[in-house]
Chain A
Amino acid sequence: MSNRSLRGKVAIVGVGQSPSGRVPDRSPLDLTADATLKALADAGMDKSEIDGVLTGNAFASSFHRFSVALSEYLNIQPSYSNTLQVSGATAAAAVNTAAAAINAGLADTVLVACGDSLLTGMTPDMAIRAMTESRDQQYEMPFGIPVANTFAMTAHRHMKEFGTTPEQMAQVAVTFREHAARTPGAQKTDPITIEDVLASKMVTTPYHKLDCSLISDGGVALILTSAERAYDYAQEPIFILGAGEHYSHEHIFLMPELTETGAVKSAQKAYDMAGISAKDVDVAGIYDCFTGTVLMMLEDLGFCKKGEAGPFVEAGEITYGGTIPTNTHGGMLSYAHPGIPAAWYHFAEVVRQLRNSCGDRQVTDAELGLVHTLGAGFSTQATTILGKESTL
């Protein structure tokens, strides 16, 4: 394995968000630009300092090169630009790639941003394309398999192999709703119970409506720069300590094992680079497209043993006072899920936790954070380890 490392070379110095939830009449570019201006203000930085732009793609936008369109919208002419596409894993993949680009000298300061209007900006045709085009058109989609179904089948097998229950999965939704209630701007804040989750409409077994993430509008922006420049700005820099990714398959039927994902390898690479293990992490942002997804990630990221995530969540281990407070903003299940940008919120939240700026939802003494993003039926996996200066 390579001994080259990104550890401590790059920091996140700015975080910004547009309004999220239901935000009608605002284009994906508008939402992303709004978030960018807020991230610049947060950093105390002028846009002329941005020489790199990385984004994901927006479903409600017709631009094929969203990063290039965003640059034009903001009147920025960067020397480095790309629009990444690894589905839900794009957020951490973009942060990792931006850090690598800065470390390699391709850019000094990279805007990593994404926005979409999945809730109010989609024509019916766009919505259907978003639902169906991400699965293979020959060997999957003709059978009527939405992307939710790929995650459902993995969770179902997890139930069979480890005795995981619908109640344990529902607990994830209940916990993240409690977290959202403490977070200004969260889309869903009314308390829910396990019974509410189980009584909500069945979408695709074993997932009910409340086991599934929201649909939202919104944009999020992060600004990354080199460690040398990181102290020139207004906020405490939060450093990238480790980065890892893994891409194990494309088709769900070629996933090596339904109950163990590529997150094991993605996380291990990130932990090794950071020189830490799961037990050192104080706060986590875990991609929560479905409740069962979080259970499998808690196991594969090493926070609990394989097969034990159900009891782990029931015991309160993913909330305040537990082993690993997770998605303290409420996640995609309760804060917001505007598509590809959804996991950018996990970064925004973990950065704010490490800056100790989360007010009454602050995790005490948080110094080390992990963000794990994934997509396409566990095909794509990307992990980033973040830390305060004290962890360098």
Chain B
Amino acid sequence: MGHSHGLSIEEQRKADLKVGKVGFIILLLVTLGEVGVALVGNGHIIEGHTWPAWLMIPLMISMSLYKAYYIVSIFMHLGHEVGGMAYTIVMPMALLIWGVIAFLWEGDHARHNRNYVTDPRPGSEIPIEEPPAETSMQLEENLSKEFSFQ
């Protein structure tokens, strides 16, 4: 609650304005930092100077996560709520991190194994590879079509 700490309205307003100002400056600087990393890293600022993806992407993700933490904790006031209530919000979101990793992993797997999936569009047929001679595997069409049940 706003003026529950024995502050007068004027003192409370002064403190509130400070929260707003500091928050604005922090969010603005972090956003400019992110855009700066993207522009410098992709070679738009200094000609021919780029940063590797393993440096840029974790930098940008951590800055975004910091912004998210700041908005939720300070602006949305979750940092000042009762601990149990804050956990009911933060825990489900934290568990989601594994979901993100698992699905991105799956997408990457699809990229490396796309050739094993049949594309129904015309002109996209991929010739079926002959099995290596040293294996005993037989292609389906080479198997005998006549079945015996005796």
Indicate whether A and B interact: no
